Amino acid sequence: MQDQPRIIVIDDDPLIRLLVGKALQAVGLQTTETASAEEGLALFARCGADAVLLDVMMPGGMDGFAACALLRQLPEGQHIPVLMMTGLEDLESINHAFESGATDFITKPINIPLLGHRVRYMLRASHTTQCLLESEQRLHRMAYFDSLTDLPNRQFFREHLQRIIALAHRQKLKLAVLFLDLDGFKRINDTLGHHLGDQVLQETGERLRKSLRASDALIRTGATQDGDTLARLGGDEFTVLLSMIERDEDAASVAERIRISLAQAFNFDDHELYTTTSIGIAIFPDDGATAEELLKNADLAMYYAKREGGNKYRYFSTKMTDAALRRLALENNLRKAAGHGELELYYQPQLDLVTGTFCGVEALLRWDSVELGCIPPAEFIPLAEEAGLIAAIGEWVLRQACQQAKAWFTDDMPLARMAVNVSTVQLLHKGFYAMVTGILAETRLDPHVLELEITESALVCDEASVMGALSALKQIGVQLAIDDFGMGYSSLSRLKSFPIDRLKVDQSFVHNIEQDPENAAIATAIIAMAKSLGMKVTAEGVETDAQLAFLKDRKCDEAQGFLLAKPMPAIEIREFLLNQLISTE
């Protein structure tokens, strides 16, 4: 009985209700009969049905046309078969019936014996249509929706964006595409498992829905209501389309709301998790004319937000593109540079101005990229610092330099000093001291030979660990120099509190030293100050005899510069230094 299709028969004529009911029951259908449209609709709304048979003319109440139209508006009533029964046979009535949503139409007097079969046939046809419809909807969902978060997917977003762009183009409107990426999501996934990772993504989707709903004033497309301007592209990447923004800044307020919402704790089972989000914003038409371009540029802007430490939003501007793409290429190549043998150390000799002999060398890193050519350190070192690659590269440099110095020693070319540049970012790494002592032990180089060149920024930063590491290195004999001195803002008292052996006068003060009284005064002051603090002084960037004479006159200890020698590869420097030894002997 339960499985039999249920039919509601609505007719004000009790005899017809009775006859129709019997006819349908005879072919195995269940029926419920009502005398008015109102009653029938209420019954349908309450209990549903597999089909409705509806009389058109029902004096005193709602007629069949109106009832059918209302039925079609009920969620369950959209697709069920509705058979209209009427004495009206004119074309207008028939049209009216179909316009009201009728599936079929029979005229009175009703051929009762045939009715059961007709309704059965209608149910079968409707069932088939329903199945087709459902599988079509399922396919649509699979192609366009992400099953984890139930948000639209990349394909949907792209197509939708294309449509909205066309609209915005015609109406001269602005749009914003937000590209979101959770910071450190991989860590959650790797350490706590995919199950929790999935929950974070689902909750992220929910919070995004809520954040957007709250911004109705901004987003006036009905689209946002059912979430189709929000998508999950895959992994921990989400996108948001804000249509009809008035000013570029409007996107920032939504981005900020999203950022704050996603920074709140996630509570699952026994876990309290935190994650932040980086958001890139691209504006139509300024930042791209197509969906592809806008998505790509929003992604790039997101990448910039991430590079600046994450948990923020960044706008893309076309001006950024070339620079950004170059940086991306540089970073990708730099990651592989050491492994691909693209890095090499050059060595620049340092001259002792008192004895006139070369007393040491400074190791200078060279990167000859197969793909990008030679890149100067001034360009790739800051990049390595930002991209978190400096620790690995710095370690490679130190190991290489120490191995080289040791090799020269064993090869009977003793060298008083191997100076190695160390970036402040590198110094801030907790393992810095252990790394240096490890390499000294591994290469068996006398620590006194090693001089680390740090910049003034290392003295300004407030990290106790930096001071600790430097003091400990000083203890075991490693020498410390301040590079590019005079450019930073280190106070004298701070300088005094660090165990520094040497100041290197920045090239910019040596340049023009003979003509520019200001430069001459600064260089002279630095030399005098270093002496009074018990430190040695090396002048960098010496290019002319006049500069050298000036420095000698002011009792500068050492000089380094193209006038004396350019940085050279290991083999050349060996020749160079051996020749010097012979000529001074």
Report in angstroms how near the CB of residue 421 gets to ligand C2E at its nearest.
4
Q: Which helix (H) or strand (E) holds 480?
A: strand 479-485
**From 29-37, 242-250, 269-277, 415-423, span contacting Mg ion (CB under 5 A):** 415-423
3-class DSSP state of 343: strand
Report in angstroms how near the CB of residue 249 gets to ligand C2E at its nearest.
39
Report in angstroms how near the CB of residue 331 gets to ligand C2E at its nearest.
16
Report in angstroms how near the CB of residue 561 gets to ligand C2E at its nearest.
3
Is residue 184 within 8 Å of residue 261, measured between CB atoms?
no
Query: Residues in contact with Mg ion, total (CB under 5 A)?
Result: 5
**From 49-57, 173-181, 241-249, 417-425, span contacting Mg ion (CB under 5 A):** 417-425
Report in angstroms how near the CB of residue 397 gets to Mg ion at its nearest.
11
> Can you tell me which of 484, 503, 535, 574 binds Mg ion, judged by CB under 5 A?
484
Residues contacting residue 6 through CB under 8 Å, at least 6 positions apart: 29, 30, 31, 32, 47, 48, 49, 50
CA distance 203 to 189: 14
3-class DSSP state of 242: strand
Report in angstroms how near the CB of residue 504 gets to ligand C2E at its nearest.
7
Select the binding partner of residue 184 from Mg ion, ligand C2E, none (C-beta < 5 to 8 A, by kind). none
Select the binding partner of residue 35 from Mg ion, ligand C2E, none (C-beta < 5 to 8 A, by kind). none
CA distance 313 to 255: 7
Is residue 501 within 8 Å of residue 451, measured between CB atoms?
yes
- Give yes or no for residue 558 binding Mg ion (CB under 5 A): no
CA distance 95 to 11: 20
Q: Which CB, 277 or 455, lies closer to ligand C2E?
A: 455
Q: Which CB, 277 or 519, lies closer to Mg ion?
A: 519
- Give yes or no for residue 224 binding Mg ion (CB under 5 A): no
57: left (phi over 0), alpha (psi -120 to 50) or beta: beta
- Give yes or no for residue 421 binding Mg ion (CB under 5 A): yes
Q: Which CB, 226 or 344, lies closer to ligand C2E?
A: 344
- Give yes or no for residue 453 binding Mg ion (CB under 5 A): yes
Neighbours of 43 (CB within 10 A): 17
Select the binding partner of residue 258 from ligand C2E, Mg ion, none (C-beta < 5 to 8 A, by kind). none
Q: Which CB, 287 or 483, lies closer to ligand C2E?
A: 483
Select the binding partner of residue 480 from Mg ion, ligand C2E, none (C-beta < 5 to 8 A, by kind). none
CA distance 113 to 117: 8
Q: Give the dihedral of Cα atoms 16, 19, 22, 28; nearest 10 deg.
A: -70
Q: Which CB, 404 or 423, lies closer to ligand C2E?
A: 423
Report in angstroms how near the CB of residue 313 gets to Mg ion at its nearest.
37
Q: Which CB, 53 or 481, lies closer to ligand C2E?
A: 481
Q: Which CB, 342 or 362, lies closer to Mg ion?
A: 362
Q: HSE-up of 102 (CA within 13 Å, CB side)?
A: 22
List of residues contacting ligand C2E (CB under 6 A): 348, 364-365, 376-378, 381, 394, 397, 421-423, 453, 483-484, 507, 540-543, 560-562, 567
Is residue 385 within 8 Å of residue 423, measured between CB atoms?
yes
Nearest residue to 500 via CA among 529, 457, 462, 533: 533
User: Looking at the DSSP assignment, which residues form a beta bridge with residue 30?
Assistant: 6
- Give yes or no for residue 181 binding Mg ion (CB under 5 A): no
Q: Which CB, 296 or 327, lies closer to ligand C2E?
A: 327
3-class DSSP state of 411: coil
Please tell me the chain's helix, strand, coil percentages from 3-state DSSP, rounded to the nearest 5: 50, 20, 30
> Can you tell me which of 483, 522, 538, 539 binds Mg ion, judged by CB under 5 A?
483
Q: Which CB, 331 or 483, lies closer to Mg ion?
A: 483
Binding site for Mg ion (CB under 5 A): 421, 453, 483-484, 540
